[in-house]
């Protein structure tokens, strides 16, 4: 199992396209009279990029830096990193101000093996960090702990939750807080349901190697299995529902033929689609499981957002219309009915697209960052409800960069390689850089609400 997001990790993120910008269109926007602008989300040939780099930048401290999850809030940016400082390999959280003028590093501890960097979160103005830790056991079972810890200015604070997990190959999880302040953790395991929840957790696996998504409320010791046995579920995502509780979504999968096999190099490909279920604040089901995308699709990643009382699911589907056509990104609205619209109707490369994290907690303008089949970076502006707000643009300034976060309507943060120093023996260090990107008219109007 793997972590799956809508591209980046990073959704992290030229197309063969018809049409061109009209002479009366603003920079980065397709002309209303352009034939390709008739279909929202179509990729059009843009004459000018949206983004320009500003002077604000921040070098990530250490060597051999790996950046994982990023969280942005009114109080600043949080970056989970693994880095080498001196002769020590450290897992850390970098706290940076929004103007990148100041930063502070909080070390979590030494990373273990291939465990991912710490994963930071904001809950209002309170910062948290989640990370994997080994579990000491005398029974010989392969177990690990997922810890959710309050993050103070210069140190780790109170441990809010310790989640005991099977130590399988997947480290995918998500943490979210409801509007009432209740916290919930979701993760996946290659393990069958425990028929007796009162017994100790044991190292048992279903013969098929199927995956299950489990949830546990912060402050509770009760684990619940949220996905049905038929789903073979992985890569959970959580989002707070209006009025309390959560939406929980995951990738479900099945092999293309009747013979089931875990997908890995040389093994059978699988269909993948997104399923979602509403939960209470304590993780109990509040409605039925719904399938969102096609059971014959090949969902590579997805993200969740709210539009009023409805759930919006953005799915990157690798099921191309023709060979070499590239993947597409589809917007699904899950309400009384299920509606779908192409955001990008083809040409998306293998990297997972990024629904760029935003500083505002409310429904507002966003960016979709994605790479084409030639590894060039594109941006698609999205208005409230993740509705397409303008044509996609190629962004040479962001080629090779990872888009991390944004502040509506026009500020964007990306991780780029720093310029070489005068000493050629000094390795390049990644740096966080701020860009200004011209939004579409609908996105700008949405951001001002």
pLDDT at 421 over 70: no
Binned at pLDDT 50, 70 and 90, residue 41 comes out as low
Q: Is residue 85 part of a domain?
A: yes
Domain that holds residue 434: 35-448
Q: Is the peptide bond before 409 cis (omega within 30 degrees of 0)?
A: yes
Is 306 within a domain?
A: yes
| Domain-embedded: residue 350 | yes
CA-based nearest residue to 387, from 41, 94, 67? 41
Report the CATH number at residue 94: 2.130.10.10
Q: HSE (CB half, 13 Å, CA atoms) of 143? A: 17
Q: 3-class secondary structure for 27-95?
A: CCCCCCCCHHHHCCCCCCCCCCCCEEEEEEEEECCCEEEEEEEEEEECCEEEEEEEEEECCEEEEEEEE
Say whether pLDDT at 152 is over 70: yes
- Provide mean pLDDT across the span 127-138: 83
The model scores a pTM over 0.85? no
> Which candidate, 217, 381, 238, 354, places its Cα nearest to that of 305?
238
Q: Is residue 302 part of a domain?
A: yes
Question: Considering the domain boundaries, does residue 14 fall inside one?
Answer: no
Torsion angle of C-alpha atoms 167, 297, 329, 23, degrees rounded to 10: 160
| Opening angle at CA 378, ends 377 and 381, nearest 5 | 145
The answer to whether residue 3 is domain-embedded is no
Higher pLDDT, residue 393 or 265? 393
pLDDT for 223-237, tens place per residue?
999 999 889 999 999
Residue 19 lies in a domain: no
| CA gap 330, 369 in Å, rounded | 14
**For 51-90, how does the pLDDT look when each residue is reduced to its tens digit (9 = 90+)?**
999 999 999 999 999 999 999 998 899 999 999 998 899 9
Of the chain, the percentage scoring pLDDT greater than 90 comes to 61
Residue 20 lies in a domain: no
Count how many domains the chain has. 1
Q: What is the pLDDT of residues 252-279, one digit of tens each?
A: 998 876 544 444 544 457 899 999 999 9
């Amino acid at each position: 199992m793997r972590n799956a997001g809508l591209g980046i990790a990073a959704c992290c993120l030229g197309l063969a396209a018809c049409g061109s910008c009209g002479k009366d269109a603003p920079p980065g926007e397709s002309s209303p009279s352009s034939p390709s602008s008739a279909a929202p989300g179509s990729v059009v040939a843009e004459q000018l990029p949206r983004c320009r780099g500003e002077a604000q930048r921040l070098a990530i401290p250490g060597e051999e830096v790996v950046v994982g999850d990023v969280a942005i809030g009114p109080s600043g940016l949080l970056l989970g990193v693994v880095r080498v400082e001196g002769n020590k390999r450290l897992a850390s959280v970098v706290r940076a101000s929004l103007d990148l003028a100041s930063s502070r590093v909080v070390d979590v501890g030494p990373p273990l093996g291939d465990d991912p960097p710490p994963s930071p979160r904001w809950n209002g103005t309170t910062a948290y960090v989640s990370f994997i830790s080994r579990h000491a056991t005398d029974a010989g079972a392969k177990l690990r702990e997922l810890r959710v810890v309050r993050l103070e200015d210069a140190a780790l604070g109170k441990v809010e939750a310790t989640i005991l997990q099977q130590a399988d190959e997947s480290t995918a999880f998500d943490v979210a807080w409801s509007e009432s302040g209740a916290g919930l953790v979701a993760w996946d395991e290659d393990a069958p349901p425990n028929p007796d929840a009162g017994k100790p957790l044991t190292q048992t696996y279903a013969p098929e190697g199927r995956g299950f998504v489990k949830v546990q409320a912060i402050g509770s010791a009760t684990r619940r299995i949220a996905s049905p046995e038929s789903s073979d579920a992985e890569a959970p995502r959580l989002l707070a529902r209006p009025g309390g509780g959560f939406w929980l979504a995951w990738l479900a999968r099945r092999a293309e033929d009747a013979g089931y096999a875990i997908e890995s190099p040389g093994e059978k490909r699988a269909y993948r689609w997104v399923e979602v279920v509403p939960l209470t604040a304590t993780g109990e089901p509040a409605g039925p499981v719904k399938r969102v995308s096609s059971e014959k699709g090949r969902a590579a990643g997805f993200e969740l957002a709210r539009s009023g009382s409805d759930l919006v699911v953005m799915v990157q589907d690798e099921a191309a219309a023709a060979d070499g056509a590239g993947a597409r990104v589809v917007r699904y609205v899950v309400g009384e009915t299920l509606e779908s619209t192409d955001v990008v109707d083809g040409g998306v490369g293998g990297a997972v697209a990024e629904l760029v994290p935003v500083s505002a907690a409310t429904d507002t303008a966003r960016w979709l960052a994605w790479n084409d089949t030639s590894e060039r970076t594109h941006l698609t502006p999205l208005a409230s409800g993740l509705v397409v707000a303008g044509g996609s643009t190629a962004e040479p300034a962001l080629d090779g960069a990872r888009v991390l976060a944004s502040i509506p309507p026009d500020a964007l943060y990306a991780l780029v390689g720093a310029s070489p120093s005068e000493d050629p023996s000094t390795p390049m260090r990644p740096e966080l850089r701020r860009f200004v990107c011209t939004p579409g008219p609908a996105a700008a109007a949405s951001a001002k609400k």
